[in-house]
Amino acid sequence: MNDQLEVSSHTTITTDRENDETSYSNLKPLFETANILLGGIQSLNDDTQRINSELLHHQNSIRFLFEDLSKLKISIEETHSSINAQSTSQQILEGSINSLRQQFDDLRNISTDGTLIWRITNIQQKMVDAECERQISIYSPVFYSSPNGYKMRLRLYLAGDGNARRTYMSLFFVLMRGEYDAVLQFPFNYKITFCLLDQTSQQRHIIDSFRPDVKSNSFQRPCSDMNTASGIPKFVPLTIVKQDNNPYVRDDIMFIKAMVDFSELPKSLVPYILTLNPGLPIPIQQESIRRELEKRAQEKLRSITETSTSANHDKPMM
């Protein structure tokens, strides 16, 4: 009986072991697969951590890059602002230099004999500025009657002034406060002649004159930098200077001459004076005028003598 129990127990243990081995054998591939998967998961975790680390590094790099770009943008804007400021400063400086150069040229070319030849450039643009009232008038350089004399200038309205607006050029004389006014005679009472110069050989100059109104404040001793301008409102019709190929505007340049007559020259002598070469020294021009006056005086005397002689010859004999 005991032997039968031992055999039965041994048989049961053997069967269980075989079953376990069979189960293990069946599960072994699963364990191996699970181990492989666990290894893959660990590898994926490692890769994920590495990728996250790289991503964080790239994010930081991008953030730093954007910060650098922002700084670079600010730097570029500041550079542009600096360049614009320098450009503006340069333009202002160039304008100041040109203004100083013009002032120097004006001072170097100051006339001290009571005459002025005013060279006006960019006539077309100045005319447009005058017509649209951006700049209705322009001033000439200063000139003097003598080194210690009256200080004067002209004022030109290219599109006219007052009732002459848009129909005539208006030209005025301006008496200025000078260093020697205390010893000069006032009111100013000398005839003033304006001339728009013909730039061709025809020399068909446009001439007009006026004598100051001694009661006007314009010709009293100046109390400010400049007296009120006075002159000829209807100096030259605009139709003349706006004509194509007119002789008074050439290469967009116009010349106006002003003469203050301190010696009471005959009006008939003005056209002769305007024929003189302005490039000649002043003493030579004055000598030419003196000779012309003498010549005309002699011709007048000769004409009177001849007329008198002829009249005597025509008298009937008694």
pLDDT tens digits, 119-145:
999 999 999 999 999 999 999 999 999
Q: How far apart, in whole angstroms, are the C-alpha atoms of residue 222 and residue 203?
A: 36
Q: What would the pLDDT profile of 168-226 be if each residue is shown by its tens digit?
A: 999 999 999 999 999 999 999 999 999 999 999 999 999 999 999 999 999 999 999 99
pLDDT score, position 235 = 97
Q: What would the pLDDT profile of 27-55 be if each residue is shown by its tens digit?
A: 777 777 777 877 778 888 887 888 888 88
* Closest C-alpha to 246, from 111, 152, 127, 160: 127
Q: Which CATH class is domain 111-277?
A: mainly beta
Q: What would the pLDDT profile of 102-119 be if each residue is shown by its tens digit?
A: 666 656 668 899 999 999
Q: How far apart, in whole angstroms, are the C-alpha atoms of residue 262 and residue 254?
A: 26
| Mean pLDDT value of segment 231-247 | 95
Read off the pTM.
0.63
* Closest C-alpha to 222, from 170, 138, 152: 152
What beta strand segments (E) does the chain contain?
Answer: 115-120, 138-139, 143-144, 151-157, 168-176, 191-196, 206-210, 230-237, 254-261
pLDDT score, position 276 = 78
The larger pLDDT score, comparing residue 18 to residue 178, is at 178
Q: Residue 318 above 90 pLDDT?
A: no
pLDDT score, position 12 = 60
DSSP state of 280: S
- In whole numbers, what is the pLDDT of the chain averaged over residues? 85
pLDDT score, position 184 = 96
In the chain, where the domains are located: 1-108, 111-277
User: 180 vs 102, 146, 216, 229, CA distance in Å?
Assistant: 25, 11, 21, 20
Phi first, then psi: give them for residue 26, nearest 5 degrees.
Answer: -75, -35
| Mean pLDDT value of segment 293-304 | 79
| Contact status, residue 138 vs residue 153, Cβ threshold 8 Å | no
pLDDT score, position 17 = 65
Q: Provide the residue type at 311 as one letter.
A: A
The larger pLDDT score, comparing residue 174 to residue 20, is at 174
